[in-house]
């Protein structure tokens, strides 16, 4: 076991579920801490600093005048605070490890990292595309929009977080584990030429082939790799406690292998793990799995 590219980790919790359709992921950061994330990372050899949680308030109504997006004002506020905190952590020379919370927090995480890494690569583990906008979203839930926002598409209140520039380039983004895309997402993914490794490719070619290709896309010629890991990328057998479960996902070992291989690149500069919902979990098992996956990403070797 050895620390990865940066021996100093700052854990940032974001206690928000306003971007999701199912309440409870606001408890995710606490569940992950109870599952032993600090102890595990410390045992690997990291210097771990817990930065505490960014807390979201729940407005009386999800509506914002004139827009379809639910809880826009509060989600924009939380992500602005997260962007600033991630940027400060990186200024201090530390690795930001963000604990969600729903996946809307990727808006703030990536915006914060982009203050320091202008040509960022991203590996996005998810059952879903998260590349909807107000016009294409069936629900108006912002946790389905962070990729679009990071690419510069969407409401100005969100795309301007961290500065009015595109935080992510399509050619530096790769998806792993997708199996549920909305029609508008399929269209824009094809138009932008973004690489999507669905479960079909993983089944057909194996995780080793897929993740080698993903690392090349996100790592070659970039300033580093950000890993955004939604627990719903796993099959529900391994992640019961997440709100948008889709059958036929990654196995426990496939996910660990993927993150172990990403760790070996030495190029990871930031990460987030999201959508842990202890309200619908069984004995905090999904948070425990998340902690094991974090260990794999951060270079935890058996021998």
Residue 282 exposure: Cα atoms within 13 Å on the Cβ side: 5
Q: List Cβ neighbours of 302 (8 Å cut-off, separation of 6 or more).
A: none
- Distance CA(278)–CA(68), nearest Å, equals 28
State pLDDT tens for residues 47-105.
999 999 999 999 888 887 778 999 999 999 999 999 999 999 999 999 999 999 999 99
What is the pLDDT at residue 69? 96
Q: List Cβ neighbours of 156 (8 Å cut-off, separation of 6 or more).
A: 164
Query: Does this model's pTM top 0.85?
Result: yes
What is the pLDDT at residue 1? 53
Segments in the chain below pLDDT 50: none
Please count the other Cβ atoms lying within 10 Å of the Cβ belonging to residue 36.
Answer: 16
What is the pLDDT at residue 213? 98
Q: List Cβ neighbours of 297 (8 Å cut-off, separation of 6 or more).
A: 4, 227, 229, 259, 260, 262, 263, 268, 271
Residue 295: both structure tokens together: 């260990």
Please count the other Cβ atoms lying within 10 Å of the Cβ belonging to residue 60.
Answer: 5
- Distance CA(110)–CA(113), nearest Å, equals 5
DSSP string across 141-185: -GGG-HHHHHTT-S-HHHHTTTSSS-S--GGGEEEEEE-B--HHH
CATH code for residues 8-297:
3.40.800.10
- Distance CA(228)–CA(147), nearest Å, equals 10
Please count the other Cβ atoms lying within 10 Å of the Cβ belonging to residue 160.
Answer: 14
What is the pLDDT at residue 265? 96
Contact 15, 270 (CB under 8 A): no
Q: Active-site positions?
A: 103, 126, 128, 130, 143, 230, 232, 275
What is the pLDDT at residue 172? 98
């Amino acid at each position: 076991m050895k620390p990865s590219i940066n021996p100093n980790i700052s854990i940032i919790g974001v206690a928000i579920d306003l971007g999701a359709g199912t309440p409870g992921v606001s408890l995710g950061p606490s569940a992950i801490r109870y599952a032993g994330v600090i102890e595990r990372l410390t045992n690997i050899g990291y210097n771990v600093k817990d930065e505490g949680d960014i807390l979201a308030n729940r407005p009386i109504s999800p509506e914002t005048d004139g827009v379809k997006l639910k809880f826009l004002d509060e989600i924009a506020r939380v992500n602005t605070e997260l962007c600033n905190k991630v940027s400060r952590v990186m200024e201090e020379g530390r690795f930001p490890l963000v604990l969600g919370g729903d996946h809307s927090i990727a808006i703030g995480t990536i915006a914060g990292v982009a203050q320091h890494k202008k040509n960022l690569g991203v590996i996005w583990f998810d059952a879903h595309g998260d590349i909807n906008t107000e016009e294409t979203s069936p629900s108006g839930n912002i946790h389905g929009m962070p990729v679009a926002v990071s690419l510069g598409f969407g409401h100005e209140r969100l795309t301007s977080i961290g500065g009015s520039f595109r935080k992510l380039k399509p050619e530096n983004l790769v998806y792993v584990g997708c199996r549920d895309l909305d029609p508008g997402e399929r269209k824009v993914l094809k138009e932008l030429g973004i690489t999507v490794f669905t479960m079909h490719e993983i089944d057909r070619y194996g995780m080793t082939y897929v993740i080698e290709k993903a690392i090349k896309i996100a790592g070659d010629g970039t300033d580093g790799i950000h890993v955004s890991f939604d627990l719903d990328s796993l099959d529900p057998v391994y992640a019961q406690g997440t709100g948008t479960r889709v059958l036929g996902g990654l196995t426990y070992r496939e996910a660990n292998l993927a993150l172990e291989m990403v760790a070996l690149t030495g190029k990871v500069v930031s990460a987030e793990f999201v959508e842990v919902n202890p309200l619908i979990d069984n004995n905090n098992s999904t948070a425990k799995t998340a902690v094991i996956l974090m260990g794999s990403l951060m270079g935890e070797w058996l021998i």
